[in-house]
Structure 1
C-alpha cells in the first residue's frame, strides 16, 4: 500500500525558523501516526526527532525542501529509504547512521507491517559547512555539483559508534527546559558533528557507495586483533562483544573480515565454538547441556543442531560411541 504526504504544513515545519516546532500526521484508515519535533541548535543546524507507529506494510511518499548535510541515526525498527534523486534504496537498520548531502528530497519510507520507528536527524546548512566541512572533504566538487542538480549524495552508512548512539539517545530525551535545554542540546549535537566530521576526515573519505568502505591501518590492526581473539581466547565472543573489544563497529568488522580474510567473523566464531565444544565432549567430563552453556548457547537443541551440521555427527552419538570421526 502506498500513501503520499503532500502537506504545506510539513514544508512550513521543515523550513521555519521557530525555536520550537512540532508536526504530526495521522495516516488514513487507522494505519498509524507520524510525529516530528524540531529544535534549532543554531542558525545553521536544525535537529529533528521523529517517531512513527505504522500498523501495516506501507510506503509513505513525500517531497520536502531539506537543504544541507543530514546526519541521521536510527534508534528504532528497521525501515527502507528510497531516494528518487539518486535512485538509491537503503535498508536503514536499528543503530545505523546515515550521512547524506541533500538539496530538496523526493522519495519514500517503506514500513514493514507493525513498525515503531525512532530517529534523530541533524541538518547542517551552508555557512557551517563552508567553515568546517567543505575545505577538508575530499570530494567537495562532486557534492556541490550533485547539490546543484538536486541529486542527493550518500556519504556514509554504517553502524553508529557506541558514543554516537549514547549522544543521540541523550538528545532525544533531554531532561532540561528553557536555556539549560538549549545549552544541553548544543553540547550533544556539536559532539556528534565533531565525531562524525573527524571520522570522515581521518579516513580521507570519498563518496560512499554504501558497499565500498576504506580501511586505515588502525582498522586493519583491529581486524587482525579480532581474528586472534576468536582463535586463541578461551572466551567465546559474540559479534557485539568482539566489536567493542577491538573498538571497531560491527559493519566494518564484518566487511573487513570478508575483504581481509575471505570469511566472516560469524564463521570463525562458529568454528571456535564447535572446536571448543568438541574438546570438552571428548574429555568426558561434561554432559551436552553443560557444553552447550559453556560455548554460549541458550538452548541445548540449538547447540545440537549446530554441532551436527558442523561435524556431521550428533553430540549424543559422539558421547555414546566414544568415536571421534570428524569431517
Structure 2
C-alpha cells in the first residue's frame, strides 16, 4: 500500500480527497493528530513517512509546507493556487498534452489545476496550439460555480443565511487568482477578461467562451479539433456539434456531473457560422478539485489512473 498524507484534510477539498481515498485499493491515508496539526515536526515526520503529501491548504500555509518538503525531499501534490505557474512544478492536468502524464508520474512537485481553469484550458489550449484561434486574441470567459468553490466561509453563508444571493458576479477588479494559470496554460499572449459568478447551489460549474470567427474559420472546425484532441480521454467528453446534451435541455446547466471526474465540452454556432460559444461543464469539487487530485495521485504513485476518482 502507498501512503498519502493530506495536510488540511478537514477542508472542503481535503475531505473529498480523503473520502475518495477511503475505498482506494492501493492507497492508505495517514492522518495528523488534530491537536498537533500546527506541530511542524509532527508534520515533517508524516511527510517523510508518506509517499506523497497532498496540500489542501490556503496559499500561505501551502508555501510553508512546501518549504518543509524541499528540506526533506518529499513528493507533494499541491491543491492550492500558489504553485500553478511556478518554476519547478508540473501542472497536474493529464489531458494537457501527450507528455503531461509522464511528467506527472515522474515529478516531485505537482500543482493541481484550479476548477475554472480546468474547463477553460481544455477548451482553448488545443484551438490556440493548432492555430484555429489566435494566441494574441482578446478573449472573454463567463462562468458560474456552486458555492462550495468559495471555501468554508461562503459555504457557511449559503447554508445558514437565507439572504445569500441566488446569483452573484465577482472578480470585478480583473485580478482573479486563476488568471495567470489560465493565460499560461492556454498559451495566450493577453490576459483574458474573466467574469466568474456564484449560484445558490452546492456543486457544479458551467463555463462559456463567446467568439466571433473570421478568416473563414467555422464552429465545425473548432469542434473537430476538440473531438480529435480528446478522443482517447476517459474524463473528457465532446458533445456533438450544436447539440445540448443536458437533462434540462434546451437549457445548458451546471448540473449533472456532481461527484464525478468528468468534463463535458460543447461547441455552438450561429446559422451564419460567425458567432460561436465554447462550453465546458464539470463539478467544481470533482474534476475541478478532489477528483483531479486523486487522478494525479494515481499517476504519481503508479496506480491505474481512474481508481477512486469519483464518489
Q: Which structure has the bigger radius of gyration?
A: 1
Q: Shared fold (TM-score greater than 0.5)? A: no
TM-score (norm 2): 0.26
Q: Which has the higher helix share?
A: 1
TM-score (norm 1): 0.25
Q: Which structure carries more relative contact order (alpha carbon 8 Å, separation 6+)? A: 2
Q: Which has the higher strand share?
A: 1
